[in-house]
């Protein structure tokens, strides 16, 4: 009887030791979760309406750009032109971000519709999307 008790004593000791071991918590060292705001259906409807208006405006700009291109006509008079340096126009095909209704200084990224903080950045400024790595270079303009 004593031999069975003595043999089970190390087993009980191992179980007691294993139960006291702390499992490392992977969430330590990270930022605490921020409070998540719920979006109501009215807010979602406002956001969708704003996105639709932005798409319509972009389509209008594209159609105006294609209709304003002058057609080439054969010139009847000859003019002398001096070779100037080609003027590089700034790239204007960057899309504008969509503003978040009710949140001043926050926009939706045009590439993945994630929230981006653009407080203290003037309107029209070219901004790199922080949700993409620098190697992909996704840029958008602040509305």
pLDDT for 106-116, tens place per residue?
Answer: 999 999 999 99
pLDDT computed for residue 77 by the predictor: 47
Residue holding tokens 């309107």? 123
Query: Where is average pLDDT lowest: 28-32, 72-76, 100-104?
Result: 72-76
What is the reported pTM? Answer: 0.37
C-beta separation of 70 from 115 below 8 A: no
pLDDT computed for residue 17 by the predictor: 74
The overall average pLDDT reported for the chain is 77
Residues 6+ apart with CB under 8 A from 54: 96, 98
pLDDT at residue 129 is higher than 70: yes
pLDDT computed for residue 35 by the predictor: 61
pLDDT at residue 99 is higher than 90: yes
Domains of the chain: which residue ranges? 93-143
pLDDT for 34-84, tens place per residue?
Answer: 666 666 778 888 888 889 999 998 888 888 777 755 555 555 445 455 555
- Residue 50: closest CA among 96, 90, 93, 112: 96
């Amino acid at each position: 009887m004593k031999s069975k008790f003595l043999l089970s004593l190390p087993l009980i000791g191992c179980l007691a030791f294993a139960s006291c071991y702390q499992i490392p918590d992977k969430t330590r060292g990270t930022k605490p979760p921020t409070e998540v705001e719920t979006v109501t259906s009215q807010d979602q409807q406002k956001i969708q309406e704003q996105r639709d208006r932005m798409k319509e405006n972009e389509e209008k700009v594209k159609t105006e750009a294609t209709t304003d291109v002058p057609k080439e006509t054969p010139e009847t008079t000859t003019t002398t032109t001096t070779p100037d340096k080609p003027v590089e126009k700034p790239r204007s095909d960057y899309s504008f971000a969509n503003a978040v209704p009710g949140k001043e200084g926050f926009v939706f990224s045009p590439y993945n519709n994630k929230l981006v903080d653009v407080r203290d950045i003037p309107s029209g400024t070219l901004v790199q999307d922080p949700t993409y790595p620098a190697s992909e270079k996704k840029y958008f303009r602040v509305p």
